[in-house]
Structure 1
Amino acid sequence: MGVLYSGADDCCMKGWDERIDSRTPIFMNRKEHSAGVCSIQCSYFSEHVLATGSYDEHLRIWDLRNVAKPVTAKKASLQGGVWRVKWHPRKRDLILAACMHNGFRVVSAGSNELRTVEHYTAHKSLAYGADWSWQKAHNSGSLGLVATCSFYDCLLHIWSVQTPPNQVSTAADDGACQR
């Protein structure tokens, strides 16, 4: 689509269309985030959906057809500044979030509300970076492997996200998606 997104410490999220004058954003939202916008990631499965993380400790899901506000029911406090957000590469409703002083969370966005399905707290320093493995899980009870890192102690952890009973959408694996 040719749109780039930016967030900053001024609480502003902007969209830029690279095909037109790059000095003027095509949209700007200064009202929704109450602290800096740290992370923005587009959904792999829907061109109209993206997730943002903020120092205000909230994960938000946006429908880009209405950027005045996030999808109303799709906002949740993760109790830690949300430094990174990453959509699962094959499960359309799962998001991995690095939550500064509150570890890492796997969040389901499959219902009308965001729901934590796993909370990983083994790091003893600031939760900083996170990403999903693009390989398919070999264990039927696993949603896949995750790599997470913490800031001051510079540690990298690799761990498996387990499927909690009755917690995650039972939607079929959507197969490998294109990046």
Structure 2
Amino acid sequence: MAEGEGTLIRSLRSQILNLPPSCVEFCPAFPSYFLVGTYSLQPESTGASDIADMSADANSDTEGDGRPARAKQPQSRNGSIIAFRLADGNLTHVQTMPQPSALLDLRFNPHEGSRNICAVVSSTATLALFRLSPDKEQPLTHIHTMDITAMSRGQIEPEAGEEILFLSFGWHPSRADMMAITTSTGHVYLVHLPMLNGDWELSSIPVTTHTLETWCVALSPSLAVAGQPDESRETGGVACKVYSGGDDSMLRSRTFTWNEGVVTDALPSLASRGHDAGVTAILPLLTQESGHELIVTGSYDEHIRLFSVPPFGKPKQLAESRLGGGVWRLKLIDLDTIPSQDYVWRARILASCMHAGARIVELLETVGGAHQFAVLGRFEEHKSMNYGSDFHPGRGDRLTAVSTSFYDKLLCLWEFEMG
């Protein structure tokens, strides 16, 4: 698909932030509020200055002229969480909470009763929880923070001079107290949060591992649809299927049960090399009657792809499209599974495409069984890496979105008529 297709979208509002934005999300409990996480490398540090530069910097063994590279030193990064309110088309800054580490991912808990709880992961391998309460003078409050060493009960502890960054995470689709976290060392860990204010447990043995940075993870809802988590809960276990993508260009998946911090009944991890560069985004979409799950991926190679994943076996690619930039994040706008004269099912997705800006993408299965991507709209006012985009939930056919860009610290508000 040509890079320039789709309607060009213009911004309604824009402003410059104090630090480079790395992630953004609207609060599902209070949709008028959204949070922005920032990531800043301190001036005295050397090495990667951008999220996407980390792999090139951390894994280079030689200088540009072929000489052995200098030993890497831990870098000093900080960040912040910025709260905004969106009302009547206007953006209002509500609060800024400085953070001692740079933030790489930020997501609200999707489960009823917990949807005002936000988690963030950082450049110092910390997980922190926050609560959004708009009725308070300072609506965002810190609940608790733990690092990888504390959560693993001391079983994972970085050596002197070693860096472990938490790069991304995903909430479990049917358990509000579980998530999976990825690291710069290529690992995917499970985390159990039985209480918000501590006593969190991270599996000391990774459930899957990549040879380079693990950029993205998703816990599949397919087992929840089948009812398996409820059944396994009777024996104290939680059924999981985890998808992960790494800088090694691999898409991995694994099915297992997690019981009291121990991975049991685990099937072997399956790997698929269906990408031409690092896998940076994974979006589970739906499970077919056959038991095959459809997932969408994004990659540094500028492509968005649809895969069919059987219950046992490797993924099969069904469709792909070039979006013109590295596809860093994917967010499902809506999914229509009621067949029409035009399609069997249709999904519409918001994609953060790094140097190409944001894209609104339609994906559907035709009545003839073909799978097609189409770019409906594109927002291209960002002059640097678009790592974070999200949309106001529940606004019908008019999509109200915010998107950000890294080096120019730009936050933009825009709208698109979905039709």
TM-score by length of 1: 0.76
Structure 1 segments (4+ residues) deviating >3 Å: 20-24, 89-92
User: Relative to total residues, which structure has the larger helix share, 1 or 2?
Assistant: 2
1:129–1:22 CA distance, 2 compared to 1 (3 A): farther
The SS at the match of 1:16 is: strand
Q: 2: distance between equivalents of 1:21 and 1:155?
A: 47
Q: Offset at 1:87?
A: 1.3
1:119 is matched with 378
1:132–1:21 CA distance, 2 compared to 1 (3 A): farther
Q: 1: distance between equivalents of 2:391 and 2:255?
A: 28
The farther-off stretch of 1-10 and 108-117 is 108-117
8 Å CA contact 1:61–1:70 kept in 2: the answer is: yes
1:172 is matched with none
* 1:154 and 2:401 correspond: no
Q: 1: distance between equivalents of 2:353 and 2:255?
A: 30
Q: Offset at 1:133?
A: 2.3
8 Å CA contact 1:100–1:127 kept in 2: the answer is: yes
Letter in 1 for 2:391: W
The SS at the match of 2:248 is: coil
Query: RMSD value over aligned CA atoms?
Result: 2.1
Q: How many residues align?
A: 154
Of 33, 37, 42, which residue of structure 1 is paired with 2:275?
A: 33
Q: 1: distance between equivalents of 2:359 and 2:390?
A: 12
- CA deviations 1:17-54 (Å, max 9, x no partner) are 231466941x2102x101000111112xx132211000
Q: 2: distance between equivalents of 1:39 and 1:68?
A: 15
1:70 is matched with 317
User: Relative to total residues, which structure has the larger strand share, 1 or 2?
Assistant: 2
Q: 2: distance between equivalents of 1:21 and 1:80?
A: 39
The farther-off stretch of 111-120 and 90-99 is 90-99
* 1:52 and 2:266 correspond: no
The SS at the match of 2:387 is: strand
Q: 2: distance between equivalents of 1:42 and 1:107?
A: 15
The SS at the match of 1:126 is: coil
The SS at the match of 2:327 is: coil
**Which aligned pairs between 1:100-179 and structure 2 lie closer than 5 A?**
100-110=354-364, 111=366, 112-137=371-396, 140=397, 142=398, 144-163=399-418
8 Å CA contact 1:89–1:132 kept in 2: the answer is: no
Unpaired segments ≥5 residues, structure 1: 165-179
Q: Offset at 1:3?
A: 0.8
1:124–1:94 CA distance, 2 compared to 1 (3 A): same
- CA deviations 1:48-86 (Å, max 9, x no partner) are 221100001100011222743311xx2001111111111
Identity among equivalent positions (%) equals 33
8 Å CA contact 2:385–2:406 kept in 1: the answer is: yes
Q: Offset at 1:90?
A: 5.2
Q: 2: distance between equivalents of 1:21 and 1:38?
A: 28
Q: 1: distance between equivalents of 2:324 and 2:414?
A: 21
1:85 is matched with 330
1:175 is matched with none
2:87 is matched with none
Q: 2: distance between equivalents of 1:23 and 1:15?
A: 10
Letter in 1 for 2:246: A
8 Å CA contact 2:361–2:373 kept in 1: the answer is: yes
1:21–1:132 CA distance, 2 compared to 1 (3 A): farther
1:167 is matched with none
Question: Bigger radius of gyration, 1 or 2?
Answer: 2
